[in-house]
Amino acid sequence: GAVVSQHPSWVICKSGTSVKIECRSLDFQATTMFWYRQFPKQSLMLMATSNEGSKATYEQGVEKDKFLINHASLTLSTLTVTSAHPEDSSFYICSAAGTSDGEQFFGPGTRLTVL
Amino acid sequence: GDSVTQMEGPVTLSEEAFLTINCTYTATGYPSLFWYVQYPGEGLQLLLKATKADDKGSNKGFEATYRKETTSFHLEKGSVQVSDSAVYFCALQGIWGNEKLTFGTGTRLTIIP
């Protein structure tokens, strides 16, 4: 099956710093990538949808200036959490779609802890 | 808008018990339906899916049937194992492909020996 990787798998940072998370589709071209946020013991909440070469579409309530998404190539999307604060601590998951049936393949997630 | 309502957990069962996790949905048209599983410390994995009414998805002994008349996609397994302990998410996807997934809240399943 299609493989999606995320890097890093976990990161701890100080409040006020920025953190970049990478999402890569390893064996297929991802025309669309999705970024989700998962709080402990809760479901995944879609943050934004990005299409290669286009600006991301953010869900209502998600600050686009805080969560910068770039989808510069068909195999790479990045999420940058700018000026991170403790409330941004969460599990961030990406998924990628690009096969003919539109199935999404999920990365293993990145746990962000902001001190 | 689209929504998924999933049986709340946590659910605790003994090994070899029968499992049902209920899932109902609200959507326009004929969405695709999915069950994803998240094992401890891991990302989501697709467990099974169904793309049209009356389709049955199956994998690893799990089954779910797309019921248009009741807008449901209940997950079942006849005999659970300890290794099935995980969080299970029901989800739907719109009809156009490459669309976002709408997830249920997840059901934590624990199987005791």
Residue pLDDT, tens place only, A49-77: 998 888 899 999 999 999 999 988 899 99
Give mean pLDDT, residues B4-23.
Answer: 94
Query: Which residue is it, tokens 């961030």?
Result: A92
For the cut 90, the answer to whether the pLDDT of residue A24 exceeds it is yes
Q: Which residues of B touch A (CB under 8 A)?
A: 36, 42-46, 49, 51, 89, 93, 96-106, 108
Q: What is the mean pLDDT of chain B?
A: 92
Q: Report the chain A residue with the minimal C-alpha distance to residue B5.
A: A43
For the cut 70, the answer to whether the pLDDT of residue B98 exceeds it is no
Question: Minimum mean pLDDT among A1-10, A62-71, B84-93, B103-112: which range?
Answer: A1-10
For the cut 70, the answer to whether the pLDDT of residue A31 exceeds it is yes
Mutation choice for A interface testing from B7, B11, B44 by most A CBs within 10 A: B44
Residue A100 and residue A77: Cα distance in Å, rounded?
20
Give mean pLDDT, residues B6-28.
Answer: 94
